[in-house]
Structure 1
Amino acid sequence: PQVVSARFECPSCGNIINVSQDDTSFKQPTKCGCGRKGKFRLIEKKLIDAQKLVIEEAHELLEGGAQPKKINVYLHTDLTSPLTEKRTNPGTKVLITGIIKELPIMTRSGSQSVLYDLSIVGNYIEPIEEDFTELSIEPQELKEILDLSKDPKLYEKLQLSIAPSIFGHERVKEALVLQIFGGVRKKRDDGVITRGDIHILLIGDPGSGKSQLIKRMSVVAPKARFVSGKGVTGAGITATVVRDEFTQGWALEAGALVLANRGYCMIDELDKMNKEDRDAMHEGLEQQSISISKANIQATLRCETTVLSAANPKFGRFDPYMPISDQIDLPVSLINRFDLIFAIKDLPDKERDKVMSRFILKLHQNVDSSKEVPIETGLIRKYVAYAKQKCFPVLTDEAISEIQNYYVKMRSTGVEEESKSVPISARQLEGILRLAEASARIRLAKTVTVEDARKAIDLMQYWLSELAMDKETGKIDIDKIASGITTSERQKIVGVREIIIELENKLGKVIPTDDIIKEAETRGISATKVEDSIEKLKRSGDIFEPKPGFISRL
């Protein structure tokens, strides 16, 4: 609340003095008509609702290294009501009509400075860029959308239109189309919420086009934010608490994930982010909320955001002779939260290189060739918005049995063998469900059919066979992604630990490494596997090396 006028009473003569409060500081009368000077009694004040916003230039309007200019906006009365508050949520693009005023800047001593600050007293606010729920669709556009939904080649057209200037990566483009449509968010009676957003991680060699794909998706998707790993902090990606000059208290400032609520957040160079900053993303990816408990503020911010990330392999480029999963330098707890993970490899191939180089050179020769796409970007944005507003597909019994059969079949392959590996977990099952719902949403269908379920299963099987394959058993083992160690590796570590305990009983506390290797070879574990297991046991703190060539249990 802000005081706009105050009434004072003179203690001597009872005269009522009205004082208008136009300035930033509270004004009192200095003198009464009866000649009295000094303190006057406040009897009444008129209050109105007031709010301060800080608006800054849109980043796409900036040139070179220019910093975005900021200006304070003061809103009063009806512009601060709960109905209009949605228009002024952090991250919204707005058009403000108002009067520019100059405010004096005060020095630390309390005197007025020679400098003045400009601010706007707002009269009207109009949101320019809304999320998909508020995007308006004209009758002509609605007719185009409904005609497009009946097109039998809709999937292929969307795939071609999503990134026309990027060659290849058909499977990745197919996944990105499903991602922008997303699954259905479900809120149950017991308060449990299941996310509908599909998170995708692209890991690829430099120059493989993943950054261009992400940049392009930030243009195609309605309400998208683009951030790059090295230039972002944990506070910048989630939320932080800052001192508010207007209220002189603490205020929350939202980061990229919160600002992209009900939209899309594109994070490039994920592997270049600091560990602490990456850890801040965990809650936002799975629980879809950001909890803050700093200063005197305890708050939970909504973060219903779809995340598309890109990263480079551990050594900069994929080694074709090493398993792909061993070359991902990201914590398993973060990798586990992505529904789809794609390895984009740049391997020399004469025929493919010839076609790709021709495609790129033709693109440079004819700059407008990328405009010759089946569906233009503006229509894709409107189509996605309409699908998300109106379409909430429900699973059919046939689709449920198709997904269930795949899940049970995959799980049973791990039980049949001695290794007892876990090929797939409930997280992947929910991932298949979201992909199937997105596939149905593309057609604006009310139900998820068997074809949608098969499309989702096909995509899931594709990335699992690339990244979660255990090269020793030749079977898919989700532990490779979920914990970083396959079941077969874990069994070897357990075997080596048992050998160490047995030898300790025979030889004493200090055990020669050669004896462990000899004993392990009799049990069918090779010397290199033993050395790897010993190294992992050292790292976990189970054993240590008192002198070279000898180990002891802690």
Structure 2
Amino acid sequence: MDDNGIPPSSGENTSGTESYSVDDFERLASTTDMYDRIALTLQRSDIDATVLRAVTLQLAGAPPRPQKLGKDVRGDIHLAIVSDASATLSRFLSAVTDLAPQSTIHLNGTNSSLAGIVGNVSGGALTPGPLLDSDIDLTVIEHFGSTRSKTQNAIQQIIDTSQYSFAKSNYHETVGAPGSILLATHAKYGEFDDYVSIPDQIDLEPALSSSVDLVLINWVRYRDELDTDEDPLPVALTRQYLEYARTIDPELSDGTRNEIREYTQTILERLAESDDAPEFPVTGQRLYDTLVRFTQAHARLRLADVTSHSDAARTIDLVDTVLRTLGVAPDAGSFDGELIKTGGDSGASGSTVAEFPDVPDEHIDQVTETVGRLQSEFEDGAPEAEVISQCQQSGLSSAAIESALDACKIRGAVYEPRVDVYRTT
């Protein structure tokens, strides 16, 4: 390796670019911080550090999480960037597509129709658009605010369900939608305004804003710089490193799972204690799933088989910074283990917050699935008595069901439209 920790290439591959070996990647992972170095490789002078770090995690991605009931939880990371119009966002997005190891497509929302994005049906046959094309792993759409609401609603469906349903006279099919999505748009008034709340300046459908993993704010005047002593990497090396990292499926350790649950609980309790409703929507289950994806993506960047405390702590810090920018739990500060325990700053006095219920994931999955099935059979939602009865038939005790319901509510997987009646979020 040279003085910057960059290994010499082992020649050129068939495409004429420099080629590196697995040994090179392993040495890099053990001697340098690849989370910082890849973010630094993407760096542009007018792009915020949170954007650089989140996109770095998106390029690494995460494995899907198998579930005992229902579909797997997606591993693909979906992001939206809302930026000052003065930023060179288009150049940054071009750099992202150049650096991405996966197959990518870069679209402009001003001239992209719904059919151009999801596909066109002709003669009873589908010609898939990029979001439904199994050969496209990352779709970047800039000027997304210029797309019609119908297109935004379609993309929301894809993000929420990883599929898209066609309902045409000669074609009724539900098609899988693999791959990650990176949306980019300008602030509603072009440049961010100090005297208007950030959520009011996000030019996206509210439901879509809450569906992506993170909405990233690129306010040029107040942007954060990357705080690192690392150096950027050659593009070919970075792309090949990411390609190799994406073959690793890190296991989520019990320790990191608990850290993510505790942080999620802390945010939800702060929101519940606040006198003012947050302007930006946050649900426990979505926040939890986002943090799991980010944590596993960070572990991939370390080429690790199991997630560690550092993976959880660094991704929690990133998400916490973004949430505070959006006005969610603005007093939260950076993630600190003591913050979780006391509900305040390290060393501050205060009562201990209630612990996230220690409930097996399979119990939570079973209760959530039961609520989802029953809510369509009753006008107001799934009655608690029916949920308990059906879960008991599957072998769960009343106490286990009640604990699972509590955990589902804390995670935001279910809510009560009225007392003792449940619906899934």
Band of TM-score, shorter chain: 0.5 to 0.7
Structure 2 residue 249 is matched with structure 1 residue 375: no
Which residue pairs with 2:178 in the alignment?
A: 304
Unaligned runs of 5+ in 2: 1-13, 226-230, 334-425
CA distance in 1, matches of 2:287, 2:326: 14
Alignment check: 8 A CA contact 1:199 1:307 kept? yes
Corresponding residue pairs, total: 311
SS state at 1:314 partner: coil
Alignment check: 8 A CA contact 1:284 1:303 kept? yes
Equivalent AA in structure 1 for residue 205 of structure 2: P
Which residue pairs with 1:461 in the alignment?
A: 320
Greater RCO, CA 8 A, separation 6+: 2
Alignment check: 8 A CA contact 1:393 1:445 kept? yes
Which residue pairs with 2:401 in the alignment?
A: none
CA distance in 1, matches of 2:120, 2:156: 16
Task: Give 1:129-140 correspondences, 5 Å limit.
Answer: none
Cα distance change on mapping 1:158 and 1:417 into 2, 3 Å: closer
Percent identity (aligned)? 25
Which residue pairs with 2:40 in the alignment?
A: 160
Query: Which of 218, 227, 238 is matched with 1:344 structurally?
Result: 218
SS state at 2:257 partner: helix
CA distance in 1, matches of 2:286, 2:163: 19
CA distance in 1, matches of 2:332, 2:22: 47
Which residue pairs with 2:287 in the alignment?
A: 428
Alignment check: 8 A CA contact 1:407 1:424 kept? no
- Relative to the length of structure 1, the TM-score reads 0.52
Equivalent AA in structure 2 for residue 212 of structure 1: R
SS state at 2:270 partner: helix
In the TM superposition, residue 417 of structure 1 has moved relative to its aligned partner by 4.8
Task: Give 1:143-154 correspondences, 5 Å limit.
Answer: 143-154=23-34
CA distance in 2, matches of 1:433, 1:219: 26
Report which of the two structures shows the higher radius of gyration computed on alpha carbons: 1
In the TM superposition, residue 348 of structure 1 has moved relative to its aligned partner by 8.6
In the TM superposition, residue 220 of structure 1 has moved relative to its aligned partner by 1.1
Query: Which of 207, 214, 218 is matched with 2:93 structurally?
Result: 214
Cα distance change on mapping 1:260 and 1:388 into 2, 3 Å: same
SS state at 1:386 partner: helix
Equivalent AA in structure 1 for residue 28 of structure 2: L
CA distance in 1, matches of 2:235, 2:222: 32
Which residue pairs with 2:107 in the alignment?
A: 227
Alignment check: 8 A CA contact 1:202 1:342 kept? yes
Residues 494-522 of structure 1 show CA distances to partners (whole Å, capped at 9, x for unaligned) of xxxxxxxxxxxxxxxxxxxxxxxxxxxxx
CA distance in 2, matches of 1:337, 1:461: 17
Task: Give 1:65-464 correspondences, 5 Å limit.
Answer: 141-163=21-43, 166=45, 169-221=48-100, 222-243=102-123, 250-259=124-133, 261=135, 263-347=137-221, 374-389=232-247, 391-417=248-274, 424-464=283-323
Q: Which moved more, 1:193-202 or 1:257-266?
A: 257-266
Which residue pairs with 2:369 in the alignment?
A: none
CA distance in 1, matches of 2:232, 2:309: 27
Alignment check: 8 A CA contact 1:440 1:449 kept? yes
SS state at 2:220 partner: coil
CA distance in 1, matches of 2:219, 2:21: 39
CA distance in 1, matches of 2:273, 2:233: 48
SS state at 1:395 partner: coil
Residues 161-199 of structure 1 show CA distances to partners (whole Å, capped at 9, x for unaligned) of 234x54552221111111100122123343412111111
SS state at 2:69 partner: coil
- Relative to the length of structure 2, the TM-score reads 0.67
CA distance in 2, matches of 1:293, 1:267: 24
Deviation beyond 4 Å, 4+ runs, structure 1 = 165-168, 417-424
Cα distance change on mapping 1:375 and 1:420 into 2, 3 Å: closer
Residues 280-304 of structure 1 show CA distances to partners (whole Å, capped at 9, x for unaligned) of 2122112111222324323332211
Equivalent AA in structure 2 for residue 375 of structure 1: L
In the TM superposition, residue 261 of structure 1 has moved relative to its aligned partner by 4.9
